[in-house]
Structure formats: structure tokens, C-alpha cells
Structure 1
């Protein structure tokens, strides 16, 4: 299959030193026959366009970009029917048992333009972040650890409280305006307009997902409430150390 467009070998050599982190190298291979591309399909951590192209189409060539320090391996090919684009994705590290990947979504590869600096930005700001998040989940599963998650409770009075166990999860909460309340033993959000709260939770959900952290939304148990009457609030007695769910 002859495809006009940017030379893949040159593009791979330009792209490698622009990727984040030190010591990326590109290894280019031209496939003289269809069977030559088969070994490059094995181990691809992708369920989308990249793995489909390698499995179903006859490719001319490809390149493997490897970061020596971490062992991260990326696979680069021309994007079929798009001469001004390439597809890039990753190989799953072989050091973890197969079961560790069972409940982890593959960090599917992306299409990038044939301009190396622009492609490097897209890889660093999108693909590699998702790859690292997925890899963190695999590491935890391999070590038998519980998945990292934030448990957020939305109370009837509009209060929003969250609990997080890991440093990355706590950092997301703090960056979005939560502060730790020692009485509640949770991170709480100062009074915020409801619509703004919804937007904030959606934004945080995306940030947490990008880091491989789950977000669980809960509401306190519903109880029968008396009809409201205008009256002075009762004096508070003991304050619980945490809101009860």
C-alpha cells in the first residue's frame, strides 16, 4: 500500500527528542511483506484505530519510540487515508501479570498531525497522561491494592464533602477549592451556588479520571422530615467527627 505524505522515518526521528522526559529513541522498520508487521501488533495497549489498522491493513512501515529510563514503548504508523496524519499508541508493559489489566481501560492511541512539535504536544498533554493513569491502575492491581478513588457526598443543605486517601487525589481537591475540615475529617467546599458546584464536580471528574482516580458520588440516607416551621435553631450538642452516610 503506497501512501503519499510525510516520510515516517524522518518524522519519527524528529518526534523522539521532543517527547517529555529524557532519552527517547526511534527505531524505524520497513515491512517488505504483510507478515512483517504482525509482531508489532502483539502487546499493543489499544482497542481503537491503531490496533485495527495493524490487524486489518497492509502497512508499509512503522516505528517504535522507546524511552530508555522507563521502558515506555510507543508505536507509530501512518494513519490510513489521512496522508497528513500519523497514529501513535503504546505497548503494555510486560512486567505485570495479565489479571492486573482486566479492569483497566486501554489508553487508546491518538491521531497526530505530521508537524512534529504539534504532535509532541498532543502526545504529552493527552495520550501520555492517559497512559500514565492507566499504568498506575495496573500497578495498584498488580500489588493487590484497592483502587484509588474520591468519595464525595452531597448533602441536602448544599454542603459538599469529599474523602481521599492518596496524595494525587487530595491535590485535585485542594486545587479546586476544597479545604480540610478537622471536625468533619473530610475536605469540604465552601458555600457555592448549586450550578457552579455541578460544573466543578464535572471538571474534577475529568481531572481525576485523567489521573486514574475514581469518583464516587453519594447522598446521605433519606429520612422523613417534619414540615418546616420558622423557629430558632436548637442548640447544638456534640458535633460528630464526620458526617454519617
Structure 2
């Protein structure tokens, strides 16, 4: 079978499967030319069993991604054995920090036949149930790793990748954070400020601190409880640059 024929078969299967799964799903096809998308997808496959083994022997050349309205995603891949059909695996959300996955069992993928209707029943009764449970736990872990804010105080918590995060806050504080570059994740409610450019991050924190203070809302910088602080320097007030995390920039290892 020519590669374009196999690619079309995968896309068609994924389209029908998306329509048959419970809830609202859309299907996006990634052919061989989508190298960057495929590389990122392979890194986010949440599996340590059948699919992970397949990927070690057969690098991802094409795939289809099924996306649910709440952010959940499933990857449909070719099945490289003597049987007809495909593999399907859960995809770890990019919005959650690696620490959120620590200690969780991977919702390992399963093999599917070439029948999308029967496959939908298998996915709904097996993989999807395990995936939803793992997602709920990971999102809970992400929120638990961030210090809670209060109506008159916004707590910015350092993350291992150098970003800053705040738990759900009031409308006034939320508007200030968003105006200063904090990105809201609607799935977790967390506001996150990237640490890719620490100078930009520092200016954003100073500006947000001044604006929050004008509304009578204090700003506090903290490290997650139970984790080693990335610097011994105490948190700076909003009028000064925040300490730059150094030793905690390495992400926790997550099983793939």
C-alpha cells in the first residue's frame, strides 16, 4: 500500500472514530510533512507499554489527533504488526507541569481493529475511562503544587521550569495578571507567566505588583511546599525584580 493511501486510511478511520466516541471530539490529521507537530506529539504520548514500545521501533511518521472540548487528546497511530488496525494512546496535556504527573500510572494505549465503530466501544470502555481518571488526578496535583491565593493577596508560586503560577483569583486580580502576560489555563484555572525571558518576567511581576497594590491586593512570591527552593534569596517585593530560579529549572522526569 502506498504511503498516501495508508495516510488517507488512518485519517478516515480517525474521523469516524471521533464521531463515535462519547462527547464532542474533532480529528486532526498530521501527515509526514508535519515533522514538528509529530515530534511534539511523540514526546507527549502518555504510555509506557504497547504504544511506547511501538514508537521505539517505528518513529512517528504520521498520526491523527482526536481532541475533546475540555482539552483531552488521543493519538491514533499505525499498527506495525501482522494484524490490521491501529494503535490509540492518551496524550499528556502540555499545560500541566511535569510534577503533576509524578507517581501516576500511565493510561496506556490499546490496539484497535480496522472497524472504527467497534473500536469506539473499546476506547470508551477502557482507555477513555483510565485517561479521564489520570487527567483528573494530574490536574488536582497541579493545583495542589501551587500556593492558594486569597481575595486580598495573590500568591505567585515558582515552578520547576522557571515559570510563575497563581491559582484562581478574583476578577480584578485576574484582569491584572492577564494584562501583564499571565496566561490563563481554563482547564485548571491557573494563571502562568513564562520564565523563558527572566528580564521580561521580572518587569511583568513588578508591573502586576504595582497594579494589584493599587487595588489593595498584596503580591507574594513562594515556592511549592515540600520542594527545594531554587534560590536562597527571599522573595522580593513587587517593586523589585523577582529572584531567578536556577537550580530547579530541570523538569521532573515523566514516564513516556
TM-score normalised by L of structure 1 = 0.52
- What CA distance in whole angstroms lies between the structure 1 residues aligned with 2:96 and 2:138? 8
- What CA distance in whole angstroms lies between the structure 1 residues aligned with 2:47 and 2:139? 18
Structure 2's unaligned 5+ residue stretches are 146-256
Does the CA-based 8 Å contact 2:30-2:38 persist in structure 1?
no
Matched, 1:84 2:49: no
- What CA distance in whole angstroms lies between the structure 2 residues aligned with 1:134 and 1:2? 37
Indicate the residue corresponding to 1:200 in structure 2: none
What are the Cα deviations for residues 125-165 of structure 1, in whole angstroms up to 9, with x where unaligned? 000100111112222322339xxxxxxxxxxxxxxxxxxxx
Deviation (angstroms), 1:59:
4.6
**3-state DSSP class of the match of 2:44?**
coil
- What CA distance in whole angstroms lies between the structure 1 residues aligned with 2:94 and 2:9? 30
Matched, 1:16 2:18: yes
Structural RMSD (CA):
2.7
What are the Cα deviations for residues 96-153 of structure 1, in whole angstroms up to 9, with x where unaligned? 22112111001011111110110000000000100111112222322339xxxxxxxx
Indicate the residue corresponding to 1:205 in structure 2: none
Indicate the residue corresponding to 2:54 in structure 1: 53
Does the CA-based 8 Å contact 1:45-1:90 persist in structure 2?
yes
Indicate the residue corresponding to 1:30 in structure 2: 31
Indicate the residue corresponding to 1:103 in structure 2: 103
Does the CA-based 8 Å contact 1:37-1:54 persist in structure 2?
no
Alignment of 1:168-207 (within 5 A): none
Indicate the residue corresponding to 2:9 in structure 1: 7
- What CA distance in whole angstroms lies between the structure 1 residues aligned with 2:2 and 2:59? 10
Structure 1's unaligned 5+ residue stretches are 146-245
What are the Cα deviations for residues 200-232 of structure 1, in whole angstroms up to 9, with x where unaligned? xxxxxxxxxxxxxxxxxxxxxxxxxxxxxxxxx
Does the CA-based 8 Å contact 2:17-2:120 persist in structure 1?
yes
Bigger radius of gyration: 1
TM-score normalised by L of structure 2 = 0.50
**3-state DSSP class of the match of 1:106?**
coil
